[in-house]
Structure 1
Amino acid sequence: MLILGLDPSLTCTGWGVVRSEGPRLSHVANGQIKTDGKAPLPDRLHHLHDAIFAVIQAYQPDRAAVEEVFVNKNPQSTLKLAHARGAVLAACGRASVPVAEHATRLVKKAVVGTGAAEKQQVQAMLKVLLPMAKVDGADAADALAVAIADAHLGFLR
Structure 2
Amino acid sequence: MIILGFDPGTASTGWGVVEQDGNRLRPLGHGCIVTSAKDPTHLRLRQIHDQACRLIDRYRPHVVVLEDLFVNVNVKTALAVGQAKGVLILAASALETAPCEYSPLQIKMAVTGYGRATKVQVQEMTKTILR
Does 1 or 2 have the higher relative contact order (CA < 8 Å, sep 6+)? 1
Equivalenced residues, count: 131
- How much identity, in percent, do the aligned residues show? 38
Aligned residues of 1:19 and 1:26 also touching (Cα < 8 A): yes
**Please, what TM-score do these two structures have when normalized by structure 2?**
0.96
**Would you say 1:54 and 2:54 are equivalent positions?**
yes
Unaligned runs of 5+ residues in structure 2 are none
1:25 is matched with 25
**Aligned 8 A contact 1:61 1:97 in 2:** no
Letter of the 2:33 partner, please give it. I
What are the Cα deviations for residues 10-56 of structure 1, in whole angstroms up to 9, with x where unaligned? Answer: 00101100011121111011111111111111111111100000000
Cα shift readout 1:68-104 (whole Å, capped 9, x = no counterpart): 1110211100111101111111110134343101111
Letter in 2 for 1:39: D
CA contact (8 A) 1:5 1:15 kept: yes
Local SS of the residue matching 1:127? helix
Q: Please, what is the CA RMSD of the aligned residues? A: 1.0
Partner SS, residue 47 of structure 1? helix
**Partners of 1:68 and 1:43 in 2: how far apart?**
23
Q: Are the counterparts in 2 of residues 53 and 95 from structure 1 also a CA contact under 8 Å?
A: no
The within-5 A match list for 1:96-135 is 96-131=96-131
Output aligned runs, 1:1-150, within 5 Å: 1-131=1-131
Aligned 8 A contact 1:18 1:28 in 2: yes
TM-score by length of 1: 0.80
Indicate conservation of the 8 Å contact 1:65/1:99, yes or no.
Answer: yes
Check conservation: 1:68, 1:102, Cα contact below 8 A.
yes
Which ranges of structure 1 fall in alignment gaps of 5 or more residues?
Answer: 132-157
